[in-house]
Amino acid sequence: MTDAKLILLLKTSISIGLCLILLGIYFHNFSEAVEAMGVTGIIISAMCIALGMVLSLPTKMYLTFILVRREADKNQPD
């Protein structure tokens, strides 16, 4: 897999993770249907947030590592 494809995949993963976090926050604070579900609704909103964290945080660290390595390779004298 090339670096460009990997970076695109990681950015997509970050975007999906952030959307899931926002969806979980919306469910928890503003959705009356999820509130009416009781404990099940809380579990649904918590799972959205947890899955969003799983998708976004590690990929941010790896993406930062790739970008720093690419920048170091670019600035290295030939």
Which of 6, 25, 17 has its CA nearest to residue 56?
Answer: 17
Residue 71 CB neighbour total at 10 angstroms: 10
Please check whether residue 1 lies inside any domain of the structure.
Answer: no
Please check whether residue 65 lies inside any domain of the structure.
Answer: yes
Please check whether residue 54 lies inside any domain of the structure.
Answer: yes
Which comes out higher in pLDDT, residue 59 or 20?
20
Residues in the chain: 78
Would you say the C-alpha torsion 50, 52, 54, 57 has a positive or negative sign?
negative
Tokens of residue 16, six digits: 């999906």
Domain that holds residue 33: 8-75
pLDDT tens for each residue of 8-58:
888 898 899 999 999 999 998 888 888 899 999 999 999 999 999 998 887
Tokens of residue 57, six digits: 């945080």
- What is the total count of domains within the chain? 1
Rounded to two decimals, what is the model's pTM? 0.76
pLDDT at 22: 95
Please check whether residue 41 lies inside any domain of the structure.
Answer: yes
